[in-house]
A and B are shown apart, each in its own frame.
Chain A
Amino acid sequence: MSCLETLQAYAFRSLGYGERLLPRSDFTLCDQFVLIGSGMLWNIYFGVLAIVTGFVFANALAVAKNSSRGWLRRPANGFIFVFRGSPLFIQFFFAYFLFLSLKSVSPVFNLLSSAWMGALIVLFLNTSAYSAEIFYGALRSIPKGDIEAADAYGLSGWARFRRVIWPTTMRLAWPAYTNEAIFLFHATTLVFFSGFPAWRQQGDALYYANYFADKTFNPFVPYPILAFYFILLTLVIITVFGAVNSYLNRHLPQERRQKIRFKPQVIR
């Protein structure tokens, strides 16, 4: 099979299109590149959707955690504690078996035990908790002067939040949030190793890399390919988040703008 044919057969294999059977012998470099790349579609799917939905929820959580009202603050605290204090791997397992038992209660929950829905929910909750902690930290470190200036302009309530507090929070939180986004994409590789079944061998990049490593008993080809894809993905994330960062700081003079440098001093 030429490389072009491989591409046609396996480029969307992870989504169920193309050849049904995975290659079983005589694995070429092209096979591995195409199939692992095909699996990346799942990592991107999980990562992008969890980031986008998690961002909204994380903002709400951060505001709730910062609230002076106990009935808002305590649930937010508890939620963040549970999801930040336990391993994502265990959360996946627990959620999967929880969804399985829900399934036996009512067919309404059938969707939940499939990876594309169930794992996405877990990732969404998980990243919300981590991002909320980042946003909360930023919210607490808004310079007092900014708020006083808002008060002096007669801004209060929602207007003050939307025009002063929230933009500043984002500005302060963005470098740390970029790290969180990168680690979330890394975390998506856990999905198919933690209970959630890869239906008809439709898995993510690590699933296929592991498949090749098991079959060829040679880890030195598939894992570097996987690493290559992930480094590429990380560069894309840094570029996108860097663009947002410079948009957030567009009012600052050039030399005071903080460039995003990926330095995981604090990792998740």
Chain B
Amino acid sequence: MRPAIFSFCSDPASLDTFHWLSCYLTTGKHMGFYVSFGTVLLLLAITAPLALVFGFGGAMAARAHFAPLSWFGKGYIAIVRGVPDIAFFLFFVIALDQGIEWLRHQVKCPDWDAPIRQGNDFLVCSIAKMPLNSAPQWMHEIYGFSLAVLTFAIVFGAFAANVLFGAMRAVPRAQIETAEAYGMSRGQAFWRVLVPQMWVFALPGLSNLWMVLIKATPLLFLLGVEDIVYWARELGGSKAPQFTDYPHPDWRMWYFLGLLIFYLAFTKVSEIALSRITRRLSRGQATLAGEAMRKDQANSEGTPA
């Protein structure tokens, strides 16, 4: 057992409520619980930019002149319509895992002749396993987490592609025509005129997406990652005195109340930050919000102090 943080924790049964709680909340398992909040933040920090990249790629593909690429892009965007995202999560985690192992199998064991799907088994040669059976535990955890990140990025990339595709179409056509009149090529007009201007149109959709992404993070639990939901269930369950120094009845409700409050605070802070960004980006833009800000400023300057 890990040594306790506070010296008075040696005999928890004798402590009063406050001291008991301070001992209880600093056990090794609770430290794992607190670390898993970091896991959630890490997931968000990696997934958000990655999903944006996927989304940008998807939107560009959908706009392409080459028909199969455009179908691919539109098909990618369309997966968010009609099918629940959680089904994609459950699907991609296994599908990606099997896809990676299959590819490694093709490369590493070319002379393997048994079929890979035998009845209800998926069999690849042992050196194609990902990660290798001999790999340490942390490798397995990192691999599982990376699969989860990739899954999130694919699904939310599709949402982002939808938003960005809409934003690219919202940029006034005249802007592109002007760029063409200046003799810019299609690529130049895209990168120098369209992309810088589309963000203000994309922002409402992207902020909404960020909120949805935050609220999708507990689904990590379904992807087999030891996240906050896993720990809340684990720690909250009733504990008998035989197995632990800190016996307690079923407290899962309180743990999940804690998670609920964590998410409420997180979305509230995001909301405030996003509204600031929106204000910032609207400044000087030829949109309703930008116009309103310009008028506000003119009014406040015009009124005598």
B215 CB, min distance to chain A CBs, angstroms: 4
Give the chain A neighbours of B36 by CB distance below 8 A.
Answer: none
Known: A97-B253, A218-B117, A265-B162. A85 touches B263 (CB 8 A): yes
Which B220-252 residues sit within 8 Å CB-CB of chain A? 221-222, 229, 232-233, 236, 250, 252
Q: Which of A86, A206, A231 interacts with B263 by CB under 8 Å? A: A86
Give the chain A neighbours of B208 by CB distance below 8 A.
Answer: 265-267
A216 to B263, CA, bound (A): 36
Report yes or no: A217 in contact with B257, Cβ–Cβ below 8 A.
no
Report yes or no: A85 in contact with B267, Cβ–Cβ below 8 A.
yes
Q: Is B50 part of the binding interface, using a Cβ–Cβ cutoff of 8 Å?
A: no
Report yes or no: A85 in contact with B87, Cβ–Cβ below 8 A.
no
Q: Which of A25, A85, A91, A193 interacts with B120 by CB under 8 Å? A: A25
Report yes or no: B85 in contact with A186, Cβ–Cβ below 8 A.
yes
A46 to B50, CA, bound (A): 34
Among the stretches B51-59, B75-83, B134-142, B287-295, the one at the interface with A is: B75-83
Among the stretches B7-15, B27-35, B90-98, the one at the interface with A is: B90-98
Q: Is A215 part of the binding interface, using a Cβ–Cβ cutoff of 8 Å?
A: yes
The 0/1 profile, CB within 8 Å of B marked 1, for residues 164-195 of chain A is 00000000000000000010011101100100
Residues of A in contact with B, size category: 35 or more
A267 to B263, CA, bound (A): 18
A220 to B259, CA, bound (A): 34
Q: Which of A90, A189, A231 interacts with B260 by CB under 8 Å? A: A90
Report yes or no: B163 in contact with A93, Cβ–Cβ below 8 A.
no
The 0/1 profile, CB within 8 Å of B marked 1, for residues 215-232 of chain A is 111111001001100110
Give the chain A neighbours of B256 by CB distance below 8 A.
Answer: 90, 93-94, 97
Report yes or no: B87 in contact with A262, Cβ–Cβ below 8 A.
no
Report yes or no: A206 in contact with B87, Cβ–Cβ below 8 A.
yes
Report yes or no: A206 in contact with B120, Cβ–Cβ below 8 A.
no
The 0/1 profile, CB within 8 Å of A marked 1, for residues 82-125 of chain B is 11111100110011001000000000000000000100111000
Report yes or no: A90 in contact with B259, Cβ–Cβ below 8 A.
yes
Give the chain A neighbours of B229 by CB distance below 8 A.
Answer: 89-90, 93
Report yes or no: A264 in contact with B120, Cβ–Cβ below 8 A.
no
Report yes or no: B159 in contact with A264, Cβ–Cβ below 8 A.
yes
B210 CB, min distance to chain A CBs, angstroms: 11
Give the chain B neighbours of A231 by CB distance below 8 A.
Answer: 82-83
Give the chain B neighbours of A156 by CB distance below 8 A.
Answer: none
A87 to B149, CA, bound (A): 18
Q: Is B144 part of the binding interface, using a Cβ–Cβ cutoff of 8 Å?
A: no
Q: Is B131 part of the binding interface, using a Cβ–Cβ cutoff of 8 Å?
A: no
Which B146-202 residues sit within 8 Å CB-CB of chain A? 159, 162-163, 166
Q: Is A201 part of the binding interface, using a Cβ–Cβ cutoff of 8 Å?
A: no
Give the chain A neighbours of B166 by CB distance below 8 A.
Answer: 263, 265
Q: Which of A86, A88, A187, A206 interacts with B264 by CB under 8 Å? A: A86
Report yes or no: A266 in contact with B250, Cβ–Cβ below 8 A.
no
Report yes or no: B120 in contact with A230, Cβ–Cβ below 8 A.
no
A189 CB, min distance to chain B CBs, angstroms: 5
Report yes or no: B250 in contact with A265, Cβ–Cβ below 8 A.
no
Q: Is A213 part of the binding interface, using a Cβ–Cβ cutoff of 8 Å?
A: yes
A87 to B257, CA, bound (A): 12
Q: Which of B81, B86, B222, B252 interacts with A262 by CB under 8 Å? A: B81
Chosen A-B contacts, 19 in total, with CB atoms closer than 8 Å, are A86-B215, A86-B260, A87-B217, A87-B218, A90-B256, A90-B259, A94-B253, A94-B260, A185-B84, A187-B84, A193-B222, A206-B84, A206-B86, A206-B87, A209-B90, A231-B83, A262-B81, A265-B162, A267-B208
Q: Beyond A82-B264, A85-B267, A230-B82, list 15 extra A-B contacts (CB 8 Å).
A: A85-B268, A87-B216, A89-B229, A90-B260, A94-B257, A97-B236, A185-B84, A186-B83, A187-B84, A213-B91, A217-B94, A219-B94, A220-B95, A223-B87, A227-B82
